[in-house]
Structure 1
Amino acid sequence: MKMVDIKGKKYVVLSEIVDAVSTESVEGKNFINNLPGIFLLTNVSKRNKKNGGIYLSCLVRDKKISMDSRIWDWKGDIPESGQIVVADYSYDQNFGLALNLVRGKISVSEALKREDLIDVLDVLIPKVDVENLKKELERLVDTISNDKLKKLLRILFFGDEEFSKLFFKSPAASTNHHVRIGGLLEHSVRLAKMCEAIAEFFEGFVDKDLLISGSLIHDIGKVYSYNFEDLSFEMTNEGLLEDHIVIGIKLLTKAIQKIDEFPKEFEELLTHIVVSHHGLKEWGSPVPPKTLEAIIIHNLDRLEAQADAYIETLKNTPNDRSWSSYIPMLGSSVFISRKLNDEKIDE
């Protein structure tokens, strides 16, 4: 059983709680050896109780999974997104996980300053294997045969230390998919590999260099769209005011200006991929995809994100359930195969 030890006191993490709910009948509070839990809070919002007063709706996390939760009681200031909390917990089949914060809370920035909490952060922070993904990104860039496009990608991802640092750490979203450190890198590399594979089916009709380049660039504006240093994963003012598409166009234009005689047509086509990758105006794109490369990227982008949302839901759903909770990105709950659920991989 995975537990966290802080100065001799033991706490359980969310994945252990979900495993317990999946394998046995649980009741009462702190049903795992009567030990309290330790959680990373995100997406905290106030809600009104029917009988008056407020409670908090939130997403609780450890490095493996996340789960919607309600916080009914707390002491002191209202807890915020990006805080680590120690809490009593209980689970109800109808209402899910409930927390009572009776043992204090600490921000991630403060936790980073304490040696006794470094191991705690390693257990709680959702993140990907950034180093291997960086190697895959380098491989993808090296496949580009067009010198101008290859230079553009190298300027963007390896030529600007500030941008590179942000791109390799940023989540791809605050909810729905790839909400983890390195999630944007993971999403972009996966999408590019999917584009690399599908290009052969449209050989002679699709520009493979443009397709892979566009897939890597399409979400670059997200590096300034989310707060992740404090692990709140909430949107920044810049992200809320401009959106990642507008920010992405600014970054793309700035990088292109560093390249002598960059082809105007490539600039227009890459810009179109960025502005159209959400597909519809109601989904955030001012124009629909109008080139084959843009059409492929839009559809594979959505496929990859939806698949990630499903996989994360699979991990987070107790084994005694065949249907998940509602998934906003899919517009539905989803069926979870008993066989698949029994074979969930312990990452």
Structure 2
Amino acid sequence: MSETKKVKDLKAGNTVDTTFLTMEKEVTSLFEPGDIVRIKGVAERSTEKNDITEFSRTLKNIDFFFAEIVKTAEGMENEYFKRVVFSFLNDADFINTFKKAPCAKIHHHNYIDGLIDHTQSVVALCKTISGLYPELDRDSLLTGAILHDIGKTAAYEYTFRIDVTEEGGLVDHIVLGYQMVEDRIKGFSEELSLRLLHLILSHYNYGEWGLGD
């Protein structure tokens, strides 16, 4: 059996062949966020068996989600809304990022491809709502559903872990999304431009955050 060591005393290449407990403060001083650490050992539980399903990830059909979003956009009657939506959906660089981006670092859908998963869920919800309340402007609702979080394609990086980009931290995804849409509605009427930009700015609906109501 190798010599028993404390975690803080371990060096690269050391082997520990014993049972030991770790404290968070012992471990956090050894590594920086983003460090890659290889750990080899045997995990044991004294009261229950390991359940591999605890570590399984639900497989998402991203291409199906994207096809559903495209199908929804194709059904829009407002040509201006349809034009701005397809300016994103026909952009190969945007779509490559949109299909992979997480929706958050900590909160909902905080995993790779979480953004398109969340977006399609909101689209499906809004389609149901517009069917129940025909007096609503369906195209406005669906445009907002598709575009409301597009700023998150620039707000997060996820090379090997999810983190907030510099612009995501300083500007945030709502303003980034506003800027992305604003760049693609040149020539639109002022009234229509304001409606589209309002969809991005107001989607949290929290006036105390300084956003549109």
**Shared fold (TM-score, shorter chain, > 0.5):** yes
Q: Which amino acid aligns with 1:55?
A: V
After superposition, the Cα gap between the structure-2 partners of 1:86 and 1:171, relative to the gap in structure 1 and judged at 3 Å, is same
Partner residue in 2 for 1:131: 63
User: What secondary structure, in the 3-state scheme, does the structure 1 residue paired with 2:27 have?
Assistant: strand
Quick one: which of 247, 250, 259 aligns to 2:179?
A: 250
Partner residue in 2 for 1:199: 130
Scaled by the length of structure 1, the TM-score of the pair is 0.48
Q: Which amino acid aligns with 2:62?
A: V
Quick one: which of 131, 145, 168 aligns to 1:215?
A: 145
After superposition, the Cα gap between the structure-2 partners of 1:129 and 1:287, relative to the gap in structure 1 and judged at 3 Å, is same
Q: Which amino acid aligns with 2:133?
A: F
Across the aligned residues of Structure 1 and Structure 2, the Cα RMSD in angstroms comes to 3.0
After superposition, the Cα gap between the structure-2 partners of 1:162 and 1:92, relative to the gap in structure 1 and judged at 3 Å, is farther
Contact 1:172/1:187, CA 8 A, preserved across alignment: yes
Asked if 1:81 corresponds to 2:34, the answer is yes
Asked if 1:184 corresponds to 2:115, the answer is yes
Please say which of residues 192-201 and 271-280 is displaced more in the overlay.
Answer: 271-280
Paired with 2:60 and 2:161, the residues of 1 have a C-alpha distance of 17
After superposition, the Cα gap between the structure-2 partners of 1:143 and 1:237, relative to the gap in structure 1 and judged at 3 Å, is same
After superposition, the Cα gap between the structure-2 partners of 1:85 and 1:177, relative to the gap in structure 1 and judged at 3 Å, is farther
Q: Which amino acid aligns with 2:71?
A: R
Asked if 1:266 corresponds to 2:192, the answer is yes
Contact 2:109/2:118, CA 8 A, preserved across alignment: yes
Deviations, residues 114-142 of structure 1 (Å, cap 9, x unaligned):
xxxxxxxxx98886321111111111111
Q: Which amino acid aligns with 1:252?
A: V
User: Counterparts in 2 of 1:298-337, with a 5 A limit?
Assistant: none
User: Counterparts in 2 of 1:2-81, with a 5 A limit?
Assistant: 49=25, 54-56=26-28, 78=31, 80-81=33-34
After superposition, the Cα gap between the structure-2 partners of 1:147 and 1:130, relative to the gap in structure 1 and judged at 3 Å, is same
After superposition, the Cα gap between the structure-2 partners of 1:200 and 1:85, relative to the gap in structure 1 and judged at 3 Å, is same
Point out where structure 2 has 5 or more consecutive residues left out of the alignment: 1-17, 48-54
Q: Note the C-alpha offset of 1:143.
A: 1.4
Q: Note the C-alpha offset of 1:248.
A: 0.6
After superposition, the Cα gap between the structure-2 partners of 1:147 and 1:213, relative to the gap in structure 1 and judged at 3 Å, is same
User: Counterparts in 2 of 1:159-174, with a 5 A limit?
Assistant: 160-174=91-105
Point out where structure 1 has 5 or more consecutive residues left out of the alignment: 1-27, 30-46, 57-72, 94-122, 290-347
Larger radius of gyration: 2
Work out the number of aligned pairs and report it: 186
Q: Note the C-alpha offset of 1:262.
A: 2.1
Q: Note the C-alpha offset of 1:275.
A: 1.2
User: What secondary structure, in the 3-state scheme, does the structure 1 residue paired with 2:183 have?
Assistant: helix
Paired with 2:150 and 2:100, the residues of 1 have a C-alpha distance of 12
User: Counterparts in 2 of 1:281-300, with a 5 A limit?
Assistant: 281=207, 285-289=209-213
After superposition, the Cα gap between the structure-2 partners of 1:172 and 1:91, relative to the gap in structure 1 and judged at 3 Å, is farther
Q: Which amino acid aligns with 1:280?
A: Y
User: What secondary structure, in the 3-state scheme, does the structure 2 residue paired with 1:55 have?
Assistant: helix
Contact 2:198/2:212, CA 8 A, preserved across alignment: no
